[in-house]
Amino acid sequence: MTGCDKCRARAVIYQKYSGMHLCPAHFEDDVRRKIRESIRETGVFARPARVAVALDGGKNSSAMLCALKALFSKRRDVELIAVMIDEGIEGYRPQRLVAARALADGLEIPCVIKSLKDAVGLTIDEVASRDARDHAHDPCRVCKALRDILLNGAARELEADALATGHSLDDCARAILQSYLSGDIDGLLKQIRQNTGEVFRIKPLRRVPESEIALYAALQGIHPIVGGVCPYKGEAMAAEVKDVLDGFDDRHPGTKYSLLRSFDRIPIQ
Ligand code: SF4
């Protein structure tokens, strides 16, 4: 049995980048410390705050909601409201909405659901079949843009001070590298300025690796939903960049953190 480097209890994880073995309790402390660091620099929770939390039933957003609840349950001046989007994807979204609502109810966090069909008159299933007919492609790109608009709109309606999204360290590092590789300066700036929309965005999990979010979620009793991959998940380049970055980070632990840290040093104009 490998012991925790902090208390000698049984370790559940070895962090290559830090060289630490951690038991469940110290691992959870470590995840929450990273979340605290990420949100402290946004300043959002330094004052009374109402925060809309984008919840999609997946492990990232579910883990984020649990962690935010744990961190702020004693703060009477912090209000969390879960926001879910129903894109209209049969066989995928309904199960996730049920799981997401059950989680929010269990944590006693109010939630609202916004439907794409109600907002724009089309579901993503309908967009996908229209695209297939017209030989267009990538309903995922359309879905992402519309989800973003609906999330912003919901946060505005709720008069939220910020919108929290469940992007992990892997998501952020991948987006930064991909923006560089494709010369997408707007995308790059969007990564720097968390505040490109009308509602201030925060990414509480931006310092937490994807694999650790999965472990944190499992320790909170959140398990992956069967049939969990969206049928329209697209963006071939994103998948390619992710593979390259994963391989590099495996051989050179800490690469994703280095990418994020160097990026954070770029001054915001
Ligand atoms: Fe929408 Fe793409 Fe997410 Fe599927 S993977 S829900 S299509 S944004």
* Average confidence (pLDDT) over 224-253: 85
Ligand 1 center to residue 49 CA distance, Å? Answer: 29
Protein residue with least CA distance to atom 7, ligand 1: 140
User: 217 Cβ partners below 8 Å, 6+ apart?
Assistant: 59, 60, 62, 63, 66, 223
Ligand 1 center to residue 153 CA distance, Å? Answer: 18
Residue 197 has a pLDDT of 56
Q: Rounded to the nearest 5 degrees, what angle is found at the Cα of 63, between the Cα atoms of 57 and 65?
A: 80
| Ligand 1 atom nearest residue 233's Cα | 5
Tokens of 186: 């707007």
Protein residue with least CA distance to atom 2, ligand 1: 140
| Ligand 1 atom nearest residue 235's Cα | 2
| Ligand 1 atom nearest residue 232's Cα | 7
Residue 264 has a pLDDT of 87
Tokens of 92: 């995928």
The answer to whether residues 73 and 31 touch, using CB atoms and an 8 Å cutoff, is no
Which has the closest alpha carbon to 103: 137, 138, 67?
67
Residue 229 has a pLDDT of 82
Ligand 1 center to residue 35 CA distance, Å? Answer: 25
Query: Which of 55, 233, 235 has most ligand 1 atoms within 8 Å of CB, for mutation?
Result: 233
Which has the closest alpha carbon to 166: 96, 244, 118?
96
| Ligand 1 atom nearest residue 56's Cα | 6
Is the model more confident about 138 or about 256?
Answer: 256
Distance, CA of 181 to CA of 188 (rounded, Å)? 10
Tokens of 265: 């040093």
Distance, CA of 188 to CA of 179 (rounded, Å)? 5
pLDDT of 160-202, one tens digit each? 999 999 999 999 999 999 988 888 877 777 766 555 557 899 9
Backbone region of residue 235 per phi and psi (left: phi > 0; alpha: psi in -120 to 50; beta: other values): left
For strands 13-15 and 20-22, give the pairing.
antiparallel
Protein residue with least CA distance to atom 6, ligand 1: 230
Residue 73 has a pLDDT of 92
* Entry pTM: 0.92
Cross-sheet strand order for the sheet of 49-54: 111-115, 78-86, 49-54, 162-164, 201-202
Residue 233 has a pLDDT of 84
Residue 224: pLDDT band by 50, 70, 90 thresholds? confident
Ligand 1 center to residue 6 CA distance, Å? Answer: 40
pLDDT of 102-123, one tens digit each? 999 999 999 999 999 999 999 9
Tokens of 157: 């309606």
Q: Which residues line ligand 1 (CB under 6 A)?
A: 87, 124, 139-140, 143-144, 147, 230, 232-233
pLDDT of 39-61, one tens digit each? 999 999 999 999 999 999 899 99
Residue 136: pLDDT band by 50, 70, 90 thresholds? low
Residue 32 has pLDDT above 80, yes or no: yes
Protein residue with least CA distance to atom 8, ligand 1: 144
Residue 232 has pLDDT above 80, yes or no: yes
Distance, CA of 64 to CA of 142 (rounded, Å)? 25
Residue 107 has a pLDDT of 96
Helix, strand, coil shares of the chain as percentages rounded to 5? Answer: 50, 10, 35
